[in-house]
C-alpha cells in the first residue's frame, strides 16, 4: 500500500554496504519474496527505514522483510519476512564489495 507523501524511507540500495559485510556479494540485484504477501521484487526496491538499525519493508504490503542491528561488536540480522533471496551466477562473481 503506497502512502502518499511518505518520504521517510530510502530503499534497499542504501543497505547494500552493510549487507555486503555479511553476504560478501551484492544483494540489491537479488530477487526476494515477501513472506507476508508473496510479492517478488529486487531487494533494491525494498523500502528502507534507518534508525538505530535498518528495517527493510516490502514495497507492496510494507511488512518487515529484514532487520539489521549493530550493537558493539555484534550484528543481528533478522530475515523473518523474506521467504527467499535469489542470486544469479553473474551477481555472485561481481562481488558487491
Partner 1 sequence: MWRSGTVIALRDETATARTITLQIPDWPGHLAGQHVDVRLTAPDGYSAVRSYSIASAPDQDGRIEITVERLPDGEVSPYLTTQVAVGDPLELRGPIGGWFVWRPEQPEPIQLVAGGSGIVPLMAMIRLRRATHGGAPFRLLYSVREPDAVWYGGELQLPSSDSSVSVTYAYTRAVPEGWPRRPARIDAAQIASMTWPSRLRPTCYVCGPTSFVERAADLLAAAGNSPDRIRTERFGPTGERR
Give residues in contact with partner 1 (CB under 8 A). 2, 5, 7-11, 13-14, 16-18, 20-21, 26, 28-29, 42-45, 50, 91, 94, 96-97
All three cell numbers of 59, joined, read 514495497
Kindly tell me which of 21 and 76 has the beta carbon lying closer to partner 1.
21
- Check: CB of residue 46 under 8 Å from CB of residue 65: yes
Kindly tell me which of 46 and 64 has the beta carbon lying closer to partner 1.
46
Q: How far is the CB of 8 from partner 1 (least distance, A)?
A: 7
The C-alpha atoms of residue 32 and residue 41 are separated, in whole angstroms, by: 6
- Our CA dihedral for 57, 52, 91, 36, rounded to 10 degrees, sits at -20
Q: How far is the CB of 43 from partner 1 (least distance, A)?
A: 8
Kindly tell me which of 9 and 63 has the beta carbon lying closer to partner 1.
9
Q: How far is the CB of 59 from partner 1 (least distance, A)?
A: 10
Radius of gyration of the chain (CA): 13
The C-alpha atoms of residue 12 and residue 25 are separated, in whole angstroms, by: 14
Amino acid at each position: 500500500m503506497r502512502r502518499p507523501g511518505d518520504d521517510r524511507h530510502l530503499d534497499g540500495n542504501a543497505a547494500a554496504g552493510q549487507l555486503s559485510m555479511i553476504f560478501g556479494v551484492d544483494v540489491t540485484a537479488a530477487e526476494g519474496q515477501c513472506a507476508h504477501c508473496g510479492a517478488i521484487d529486487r531487494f533494491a526496491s525494498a523500502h528502507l527505514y534507518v534508525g538505530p538499525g535498518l528495517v527493510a519493508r516490502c514495497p507492496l504490503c510494507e511488512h518487515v522483510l529484514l532487520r539489521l542491528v549493530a550493537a558493539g561488536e555484534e550484528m543481528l540480522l533478522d530475515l523473518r519476512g523474506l521467504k527467499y533471496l535469489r542470486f544469479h551466477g553473474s551477481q555472485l562473481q561481481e562481488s558487491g564489495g
